[in-house]
Amino acid sequence: MWKCGKEIFISQERKELSQSLMEGGGRICALVFFFLCIIQDFKSCAQIPRGPENATVLTGDNANFSCTVKSEVKMSLTWIWQSVNSVSVTSFGTIVSTSHIIARNSTNSLDNTFTSQITILNVNYSSSGRVGCLPLGSSELGAYLSVQVKGSLGIVNGSSVIVPLNSTVIIPCRASGWYPGPTITWEMNGTAANPAYYVTAYTTEAGGLVSAVSTFTIFSETNMTLTCLATIQTLPAPLSASVTVHVRDIIPGGSSLSQTDIILIAVFSSLGGLLLLAIIIAVIVICCKKKQKKRETGYQSDTWRHKQQDANNLKTIDRAGLGQRNYGYTPEPVSAAPSFRTNRSDSAYSDATSQTSNAQVMGRNRMYDPSKPIRHVTHV
């Protein structure tokens, strides 16, 4: 780990640096030569007692890295994340080029060490990569950041299934969008199931995420609860999905429903039939009432219309039958005819006979005179 100044500056390197300066290599070569001369003059070089270590974190968590450097001079170092210089630590301060990193520095005067720490915030799957610490005058020491992804988990058949007694039950469990591929196990009624009952197949999706399908196969004898568990290294507790298996003794050609289900269906069917019958009766009664009301309303309307029409006809006849007044007409005096009444009981007959006689007398007395106007009256 130690590099001495005299061993670094050999004659060949001096010649190359001098040649680059003479050829106008620029200020960069001059600065490099200057720093190398400083290291040679101090007869010391950087030592890294502890470099960054690999880190594996879950999506959304923070990743921490530290680098401890020992040297007799004031040290400067650079943090490199995914091949990009992200943090620069110098005697003038710390420069952070991204908002996803927080840097902290500390110095221990007892052992003459300088420690730089960085925290990568809220990592995701794309944050994975190499993280390196490069002190001035030494080689880079790096670590790797691995970000794990928790995906989804579910039973394909749903949370409840009904199967026949003494039949083969196949329950698939699907895990999607994980990294790395999750470890899948099963529990039966709260107890770890024999691995011989299930098999798991993994596939890699686009982007590097992993999906898996674990199929549990068992011979149905009684009701049971199966639980599928998926876990990865950084997951605090396994992700689980459960399904309840109901076993029914099915009669050939019959139904797979239990006796309780059949009773419930019969009760609700009866109630539904009664409700439907009540609705039909109510509709019939309402329709009959509406029809009767319509009939009565139509009869009253027709009667009123006929009465109104008769009244209008009478008014029309009265107005049409009125004649003009004959101012030259002079009524003749009517002589009284003798009345023959035998007794009070023949009053009606006597009146009628009297009227007839009067009419005859008037007819005999009224002589035709062409010079007198005659008025004709028609009674309807």
pLDDT per position as a tens digit, 33-58 = 344 434 443 434 557 678 899 999 99
Name the least confident of 123-132, 144-153, 208-217, 321-330: 321-330
Query: How large is the average pLDDT for residues 197-218?
Result: 94
* 97, pLDDT greater than 60: yes
Nearest to 145 by CA among 78, 236, 98, 82: 82
**Does residue 233 or residue 50 have the better pLDDT?**
233
Structural domain spans, the chain: 1-45, 46-148, 152-248
Phi-psi region of 177 (alpha: psi -120 to 50; beta: other; left: phi over 0): left
CB 70 within 8 A of CB 111: yes
Indicate the residue type of 180.
Answer: P
* 323, pLDDT greater than 70: no
- Tell me the pLDDT tens digit for each residue of 214-229: 999 999 889 999 999 9
Q: What CATH number does the domain located at 46-148 have? A: 2.60.40.10
Name the least confident of 137-141, 165-169, 180-184, 259-263: 259-263
Q: What is the mean pLDDT of the chain?
A: 76
Cβ within 8 Å of residue 218, ≥6 positions away: 168, 169, 171, 188, 197, 224
Query: How large is the average pLDDT for residues 232-259?
Result: 79
Indicate the residue type of 269.
Answer: S
pLDDT at residue 13 in the model: 43
Query: How large is the average pLDDT for residues 344-363?
Result: 48
Asked, colleague to colleague, whether 46-148 and 152-248 share their fold, the answer is: yes
pLDDT at residue 27 in the model: 43
What Å distances lie between residue 307 and 294, 295, 314, CA to CA? 20, 18, 11
Alpha helices in the chain, H assignment, sequence order: 5-8, 11-22, 27-42, 259-321, 347-365
Residue with tokens 């009773």: 263
Distance of alpha carbon 29 from alpha carbon 12, whole angstroms: 15
Cβ within 8 Å of residue 325, ≥6 positions away: none
**Does residue 80 or residue 137 have the better pLDDT?**
80
**DSSP3 helix / strand / coil % (the chain, rounded to 5):** 30, 35, 35
Name the least confident of 22-31, 97-106, 253-262: 22-31
Distance of alpha carbon 226 from alpha carbon 157, whole angstroms: 12
pLDDT at residue 206 in the model: 86
CB 86 within 8 A of CB 65: no
* 370, pLDDT greater than 60: no
Residue with tokens 């809220």: 122
**152-248, superfamily in CATH?**
Immunoglobulins (2.60.40.10)
* 16, pLDDT greater than 50: no
Nearest to 233 by CA among 67, 54, 80: 54
Distance of alpha carbon 32 from alpha carbon 37, whole angstroms: 9
